[in-house]
């Protein structure tokens, strides 16, 4: 466990690169069940299980990049393609008997709740991103979905391996209303999660396309907006439909999807008692909080 802030981003990269990433216990169980019917299981069925778990998704992509063949001249940017490249049997052989998040945090129950909350939020963001990418006729809906799922992967990793520091981040935010998560992370870790994540993605040679889609600095790109706005909405909605940041989210989503404000609220199934009035005074730039 990381008990004190490390001195550099390179130190975080070195630590996470030598550590076996855990996955959710439900992922291990689901894959074990699928393996019992290995001859009849499709890559898509396996991918559906993997994509419910950002840590498992990350493990698969990191493994594919670390073991790519010299003749492979294109990146693998979706889980189903990764499984097709590996093959069903080799996939099960490689990804069996995995450590679990629940085991990793068995002595840190509050941090376990914290990481499960962020993972749930990531899944919801991926759902939003998929829906909007489909509506926008995106060139590859699955790429956008994976990018949204992994947008906060560094935060998930830090909950798993620096649980006490992440609790300090949460406590600092509770004690200082309005304090942005990136600022709180900087105060406790010395760096914010987004910077650590981009450095990890580059060190692990994740596909450049996914790195681009996960980077808030490319906010002019509609595909990146899709990912960022999906994560913003999932984060804010997790606080309740009365979260003060949601009206700005709705306006930005309406612009991205070329829908009316009311159409966005209906598409998101926002309860009518929480419908805010539409305004034209919000920024075009996705929030990075």
Q: How far apart are CA 154 and CA 192, in angstroms?
A: 9
Domains, the chain, with CATH or none: 23-98 (no CATH), 102-274 (1.10.3210.10)
120 pLDDT higher than 70: yes
Average pLDDT of the segment spanning 155-167 = 97
Q: How far apart are CA 204 and CA 200, in angstroms?
A: 6
pLDDT range class, residue 280, cuts 50, 70, 90 = very low
96 pLDDT higher than 50: yes
Average pLDDT of the segment spanning 202-219 = 83
284 pLDDT higher than 50: no
Beta bridge partners of 100: 23
pLDDT range class, residue 211, cuts 50, 70, 90 = confident
Q: How far apart are CA 233 and CA 128, in angstroms?
A: 9
269 pLDDT higher than 90: yes
pLDDT range class, residue 70, cuts 50, 70, 90 = low
Average pLDDT of the segment spanning 71-80 = 77
Average pLDDT of the segment spanning 255-270 = 95
Please report where in the chains the tokens 């008990």 appear, as a residue. Answer: 3
How much is the pLDDT for 214? 78
How much is the pLDDT for 139? 93
Q: Which of 79, 84, 92, 91 is nearest to 50 (CA)?
A: 79
Q: What is the pTM of this model?
A: 0.91
17 pLDDT higher than 70: yes
pLDDT range class, residue 73, cuts 50, 70, 90 = low
Q: How far apart are CA 262 and CA 121, in angstroms?
A: 24
How much is the pLDDT for 72? 61
| Per-chain mean pLDDT for the chain | 91
6 pLDDT higher than 50: yes
How much is the pLDDT for 281? 39
Beta bridge partners of 23: 100
């Amino acid at each position: 466990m990381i008990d004190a802030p490390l001195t550099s981003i390179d130190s975080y990269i070195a630590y996470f690169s030598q550590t076996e990433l855990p996955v959710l216990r439900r992922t291990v169980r689901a894959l074990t069940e699928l393996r019992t019917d290995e001859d009849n299981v499709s890559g898509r069925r396996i991918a559906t299980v993997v994509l419910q778990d950002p840590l498992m998704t990350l493990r698969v992509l990191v493994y594919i990049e670390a073991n790519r063949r010299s003749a492979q001249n294109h990146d693998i940017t979706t889980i189903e393609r990764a499984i097709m490249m590996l093959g069903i049997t080799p996939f099960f052989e490689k990804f069996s008997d995995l450590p679990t998040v629940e085991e990793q945090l068995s002595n840190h129950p509050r941090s376990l709740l914290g990481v499960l909350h962020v993972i749930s939020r990531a899944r919801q963001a991926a759902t939003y991103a998929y829906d909007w990418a489909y509506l926008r006729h995106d060139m590859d809906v699955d790429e956008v979905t994976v990018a949204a799922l992994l947008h906060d992967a560094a935060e998930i990793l830090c909950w798993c391996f620096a649980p006490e520091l992440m609790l300090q981040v949460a406590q600092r935010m509770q004690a200082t209303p309005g304090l942005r998560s990136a600022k709180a992370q900087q105060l406790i870790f010395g760096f914010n999660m987004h910077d650590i994540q981009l450095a990890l993605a580059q060190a692990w040679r994740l596909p450049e396309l996914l790195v681009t889609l996960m980077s808030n600095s490319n906010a002019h790109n509609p595909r990146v907006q899709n990912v960022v706005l999906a994560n913003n909405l999932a984060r804010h909605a997790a606080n309740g439909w009365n979260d003060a940041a949601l009206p700005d989210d709705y306006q930005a989503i309406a612009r991205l999807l070329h829908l009316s404000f009311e159409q966005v609220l209906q598409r998101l199934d926002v309860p009518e008692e929480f419908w805010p009035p539409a305004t034209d005074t919000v920024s075009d730039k996705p929030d990075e909080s």
